[in-house]
Chains A and B, each alone.
Chain A
Amino acid sequence: MHNILAVTWRQTTEGFAFGAVGMLLVAVLLGGTQYRRLSSGVRFFWFYLVMVLIIEVLAKYHHYILDTSNMYLLHIYTFFEFVLLMLFFRETLELRVSWRRTLLGITFSIGIVLVLYSANILFWHNEKLLPQHFQLYSKIITNFFILFFSVLFFVRFISGRIKKESRVLFWIYAGILTYFSGSFVIFMAINQLIRMPLKESIVLWLLNAVLAFVFYGIVNTAFLIQRQNWKRLRPG
């Protein structure tokens, strides 16, 4: 009985995970078909979605076809997620950070990642990349910043400081806040979750999949609003 329940949980989780990828694909297509009409900020967000889709496909390929660990992808994912979302925040929240400083920050982050990866391979060997040695504290830090900026958006939205394409941005930020507020707790414990038996951690992975599904669903709403706005404003 317990095993049947575990299988059902697993299937439900996989169902939501694949559903989320489907939603993500729709979001990428919806954003891609109106790419020229997207503002520079939303374009960065679209690039983020494309990056997530690529990582998701690679992760599924590793898991289902190669049957190897795909955890290393999470490091790449975390890095690009942070950079692209920060660029999105920079543009949409009109943060007064010059392009020079932004590029310096990105270069510095790339440098840090490369140094840590090299150090890991050179001094702690490849086996440190195996799940039992897996750690992802960087994800907690980046998630904290993402949460901070998405809350900042809503504070600015209430005070009326967000004027441009406010409805589209509202829904994108609503998606970000919904997903990252829940996943923040999950990723806070990811180092332990990785080492736990799947039947014990499956509910959390299910929650993560549901949150991702909701996130991309809300993003699709934002892109549909963008399309409607354009149709309404189009002459003739």
Chain B
Amino acid sequence: MIVGVLLMTGLGFTIILVTKISSERVLREQQKLTTLQLNHQKEILRHSLNVQEQERERISGELHDGLASKLHVVRLLLATGQSSDPAQQQQIKGLVDDVLNLTRGISRELYPPLLEEMGLSSALQDFLLPLHRHMTIEFSFRGELTIDKNRDVHLFRIVQELVQNVLKHAGATCIKLAVRTSVNGIFICLADNGRGFNLEAVQKSAGMKNLASRVQLLNGKYKIKTRPGMGTRCLVKI
């Protein structure tokens, strides 16, 4: 009987002890996970700040080298005082047109105007239009998407980032972009016939981090399938 009491109490103690040890282990793992998530968020924040600074630097460069230098020439031409000379007038007109085009270009890059007015599909079409001169582009948009400024700008930037990567690194002659919306979410698929790359080698690059942070911001997932010499296919699900 005494042995029975001691055994049962021992069993009770064992249950308590096991619970205590395992719950503390779970707690430690949760803390570790929280620390990892915090570090990841910090990394994303640091990266987005870097991207912001790079963007400012680029705009500053374009304003300084493009706009300011052209405006200086216009000022010089106007200062010479021969404004009645038709050739000079033509030159000034050409320079002002350049300035206007540059301004429009910078403005469009900062925020695509069609995105808010016409939605993602039109903004993407507008973005891809100038690229037709360099390569074959197949673009399809299926389903309906209500305009959501915050979401659409991220989706647009995701596609922009992917296309820019293709232009910079892939050496592709053909891009296929498909956007599909359904009750299960928004799916973006971008495929190219370029040289492909080693995915592990570029995992920590600025472009990939930018893509990852934007997808994460929209609670989405992305997957890249590529091999050297086999082209690239990127799938994004939001």
- Chain B residues contacting A211 (CB-CB under 8 Å) are 9
A53 CA to B91 CA, complexed, in Å: 104
> Are B19 and A157 neighbours in the complex by a CB distance under 8 Å?
yes
* Residue A71, interface by CB 8 Å: no
Cβ of B15 under 8 Å from chain A: yes
**A221 is an interface residue with CB less than 8 A from chain B:** no
Q: Does B16 contact A185, Cβ atoms closer than 8 Å?
A: no
Whether a CB of chain A sits under 8 angstroms from the CB of B1 is yes
Asked whether B131 is an interface residue with its Cβ less than 8 Å from the other chain, the reply is no
Contact sample, A vs B, 22 pairs, CB 8 Å cutoff:
A151-B15, A154-B16, A154-B19, A157-B19, A158-B22, A158-B23, A174-B16, A177-B12, A177-B15, A180-B12, A181-B8, A181-B11, A182-B6, A182-B8, A182-B12, A186-B1, A186-B5, A203-B2, A204-B1, A204-B2, A207-B6, A211-B9
Q: How far is the CB of B15 from chain A (nearest CB, A)?
A: 5
Residues of B within 8 A of A203 (CB): 2
- In the complex, which residues 123-160 of chain A have their Cβ closer than 8 Å to any Cβ of chain B? 151, 154, 157-158, 160
Q: Does A104 interact with chain B (Cβ within 8 Å)? A: no
Question: What are the interface flags for B2-35 relative to A under an 8 Å C-beta threshold, 1 for contact and 0 otherwise?
Answer: 1011111101110110111011001000000000
Q: Pick the residue among B1, B8, B15, B26 that contacts A154 (CB under 8 A).
A: B15
Q: Specify the chain B residue showing the minimal Cβ separation from A193.
A: B1
Give A147 to B238 CA distance when docked, in angstroms: 48
A188 to B174, alpha carbons, bound, how many Å? 82
Least CB distance, B118 to chain A, in whole angstroms: 48
Chain A residues proximal to chain B, CB less than 8 Å: 151, 154, 157-158, 160, 170, 174, 177-178, 180-186, 189, 203-204, 207, 211
Residue of B with least CB distance to A183: B5
Q: How far apart are A197's CB and chain B's nearest CB, in angstroms?
A: 15
User: Are B9 and A182 closer than 8 Å at their CB atoms?
Assistant: yes
Report the minimum CB–CB distance from B26 to chain A (whole Å). Answer: 7
User: With A and B bound together, what is the CA distance between A182 and B3 in angstroms?
Assistant: 10
Most buried by B among A160, A181, A204: A181
Q: In angstroms, how far is the closest chain B Cβ from the Cβ of A145? A: 15
Residue of B nearest to A211 (CB): B9
Interface footprint category on B: 10 to 19
Contact between B9 and A181, CB atoms less than 8 A apart: yes
- Say yes or no: A185 contacts B23, CB within 8 Å: no
Contact B22 A182 (CB under 8 A): no
Q: Judging by beta carbons under 8 Å apart, are B5 and A207 in contact?
A: yes
A178–B5 contact, CB under 8 A?
A: no
B2 & A177 in contact (Cβ 8 Å cutoff): no
Q: How far apart sit A158 and B24, CA to CA, in the bound complex (Å)?
A: 10
List residues of chain A with CB within 8 A of the CB of B8: 181-182, 184-185
A178/B1 in contact, CB under 8 A? no
Interface residue from B2, B13, B19 paired with A178 (Cβ < 8 Å): B13
Q: What separation, in Å, do the CA atoms of A83 and B164 have in the docked complex?
A: 71
Max count, chain B CB within 10 A of own CB: residue among A182, A183, A211: A182
Q: Is B12 a contact partner of A178 (Cβ separation < 8 A)?
A: yes
- Give the nearest-CB partner of A189 in chain B: B1
In the bound complex, do residue B12 and residue A181 qualify as a contact, i.e. CB atoms below 8 Å apart? yes
Nearest Cβ distance between residue A190 and chain B, in whole angstroms? 11
A157 to B16, CA, bound (A): 10
Determine the chain A residues whose CB is within 8 A of the CB of B6 once the complex forms. 182, 207
User: Bound state CA distance, A81 and B1, in angstroms?
Assistant: 24
Chain A, residue nearest B27 (CB): A160
Q: Which residue of A lies closest to B2 (CB)?
A: A203
CB contacts (< 8 Å) of B1 on chain A: these are 185-186, 189, 204
Chain B residues with CB under 8 A of A157: 19, 23
- Complex CA–CA separation, A35 to B20 (angstroms): 27
Q: Which residues of B contact A207 (CB under 8 A)?
A: 2, 5-6
Assess the A185–B19 pair: CB atoms within 8 A: no
